[in-house]
Amino acid sequence: MTKKQFILLCGAVLLLGGGFFLSATLRKLKISVPDYQEPGELVMVDQGWTPAQRLRFHHTAQGTRLIPYAWFLALEQPCYSPFGCKPFADQSYLGRFGFLASKPDPDLNPAGLPVGFAVQKDFHDPDSKTTYPVVGLNCAACHTGQLRYGKYAILIEGAPAMIEVTQFQKALGVALIFTKLLPLRYGRFETKVLGPNASDEQKRVLKQSFANFLTNAKWEKDATDARNTYANQAGFARTDALTRIGNQVFAVDMKIADNFTTSKAAVRFPQIWDASWFDWVQYNSSIADPLVRNIGEAMGVRAAAKLYGANASDFDNSVDVQGLTMLEQMLSGPGPYQGLTSPKWPSVFPPIDRAKAARGADLYKQHCQGCHLPPPAELVADLNSKQPLHWREYQQGKRFLKVTDVKVDQIGTDPNEAMDFINRTADTGALNKGRVTAGQGLELVTRGIAGKFFEKAAFTPDQRLEVTGFRDPSAPAVRSYPIYKARPLNGIWAVAPYLHNGSVPTLYELLSPQGERPNSFWLGTKEFDPVKVGYDGSKIEGGYRYDVTTSGNSNHGHLFTDGPKGNGVIGPSLPPDDRWALIEYLKSI
């Protein structure tokens, strides 16, 4: 064998070996989401908002950060082409993760990004103490639904979104890594961010900022990978909200890797109409104060806080309390049922059988009302009575709905969300409060952030009371009990999949015996079934296969079956005709 032949053989072996490892790496980096589908003819249902209010809800900033705004617009999709890829920010790409198209607006949405993407020009970075424009997510990303039926796409404000947050975050990370590793791609990125005539100093600063951002991201990625924190992916329409908020606050913001905890309690994004006027919110009925709730939500989608180092107790943060307050007031309105209202069954769906619905109303009163309360018309009448049965009075005469709490072992649904929140503890590090429960830690940080805002804005006691939803300032804002909340069911037809963890795809299957609930189904499509009422659970390429045997995914409980109540049984077996009648009634409220 000649020397030249030997070199060629070695090169071939290395190429084959390298190809094997490259192939394995590319498989790990693959983004798994369905192809983008155009939504069709958009239908808007009346929910009490003007077009201007809808736009503000869709794009008002909350102080959250994905990446700097200019970077986001310059970033290319994580494809493998050496000749460049299409923009990451294209709707045809972001729509694959379920994000809904939105219209450009010169003030709120200049680049025409999807619903839930918010541009903040004056983002305050508590680590670097600098201010710069960023793009982040707001609450509309997870709480704006769309149901597709035939040629129609029905937009539902405040409904759960069919988005895949985990794959989106992965795609964003891979796109950033490719930008760093591929010189030509970084060159295009640099030119788009800085322009064609940037100075050497501008280029140096950008490169350093980019490297610092990836270094911080790598610390978090390495820490969560080492602990297998997010091995149990939530998939479409769900996230483990309380665990993610806790991981952001206790681990990322406090810079304590050992505070990361494993996510095993993904929940469906909840519907948010009427929630401002509940006495307690979250599926596990754990939060009362709306400002505490909204600050926690903002931190869960990556608002930043510096909770480490000598000045940790300053609670320096990026949370936009004014933006949160505006969004909350839009949702709440001045009183119950005066803000965002639940959607009515659209005229483009098959019409409601009113006779069947009337029969269903009697069944609802018999089987459901004890936990889920009377329908809205009766609750409104009760609200306006002198001695309401279902409402409690708080500060300044404001009345809040007493939502029913049901013990976990009674309702029998997956216990993980409630129990994980009860059992979680965290080291508060530089805040010097020792080890606390998740509830104590969340209240400590969110009230600390709120307090700093009140001091800086010089709010009066009355202004503070309004922003905190007229709750008693001395009352606990956060609690942790083994309970789940049974909220009223107006608009329930628009919020599939069902149960708090989204483990049952349709209303009909929810009312059926355990054996008739599917053990697996697919999420990722917005195609709606108006008969069984829910999403089509058929296999969709790139979708999420929901497996009820995965930790946190149980579809047990909330059962209508013959036998004593308790341990998941809430009522007697319902024959099919009763199930259909109940569903027809639930379409009508």
Confidence of residue 481 (pLDDT cuts 50, 70, 90): very high
In angstroms, the CA 454 to CA 446 distance is 12
Confidence of residue 80 (pLDDT cuts 50, 70, 90): confident
pLDDT in tens, 403-423: 999 999 999 999 999 999 999
Confidence of residue 12 (pLDDT cuts 50, 70, 90): very low
The stretch 49-67 carries a mean pLDDT of 98
Average pLDDT, the chain: 94
Confidence of residue 25 (pLDDT cuts 50, 70, 90): low
Contact indicator for 523, 544 with CB cutoff of 8 Å? yes
Residue 364 scores a pLDDT above 70: yes
SS (H, E, C) 4-70: HHHHHHHHHHHHHHHHHHHHHHHHHHCCCCCCCCCCCEEEECCCCCCHHHHHHHHHCCCCECCEEHH
Determine the straight-line distance between the first and last CA of the chain, rounded to whole angstroms: 83
Residue 1 scores a pLDDT above 70: no
The stretch 161-188 carries a mean pLDDT of 97
pLDDT in tens, 336-352: 999 999 999 999 999 99
- The whole-number pLDDT of residue 36 equals 95
- The whole-number pLDDT of residue 19 equals 47
Q: Which residue is listed with tokens 């479409």?
A: 236
Confidence of residue 396 (pLDDT cuts 50, 70, 90): confident
- The whole-number pLDDT of residue 321 equals 97
How many residues are recorded in the chain? 589
In angstroms, the CA 224 to CA 532 distance is 39
- The whole-number pLDDT of residue 24 equals 55
The secondary structure of 114-175 as a DSSP string is: PTTEEEEEEEEETTTTEEEEEEEE-GGGTSEEEEEETTEEEEEETSPP---HHHHHHHHHHH
Contact indicator for 322, 124 with CB cutoff of 8 Å? no
Residue 400 scores a pLDDT above 70: yes
pLDDT in tens, 88-143: 999 999 999 999 999 999 999 999 999 999 999 999 999 999 999 999 999 999 99
Q: Vertex 167, ends 166 and 170: CA angle to 5°? A: 90
- The whole-number pLDDT of residue 82 equals 76
- The whole-number pLDDT of residue 26 equals 62
The stretch 239-253 carries a mean pLDDT of 97
- The whole-number pLDDT of residue 439 equals 97
Answer with the residue of higher pLDDT: 247 or 20.
247
Q: Exposed e or buried b for every residue in 154-180, given b needs 16+ CB within 10 A?
A: bbbbbbbbbbbbbbbebbbbbbbebbe
Confidence of residue 11 (pLDDT cuts 50, 70, 90): very low
Give the type of residue at 210.
F
Q: What is the DSSP letter of 397?
A: G
Helical axes 290-300 vs 321-332, angle rounded to 10°: 120
Contact indicator for 353, 361 with CB cutoff of 8 Å? no
Percentage of the chain lying above the pLDDT 90 cut = 91
The stretch 219-231 carries a mean pLDDT of 96
The first and second tokens of residue 71, run together, are 């970077």
pLDDT in tens, 420-466: 999 999 999 999 999 999 999 999 999 999 999 999 999 999 999 99
Residue 10 scores a pLDDT above 70: no
Residue 16 scores a pLDDT above 60: no
Highest mean pLDDT out of 2-6, 19-23, 58-62: 58-62
Residue 517 scores a pLDDT above 50: yes
- The whole-number pLDDT of residue 193 equals 98
Confidence of residue 29 (pLDDT cuts 50, 70, 90): confident
User: Which residue, 509, 488, 506, 489, is CA-closest to 497?
Assistant: 506
Confidence of residue 28 (pLDDT cuts 50, 70, 90): confident
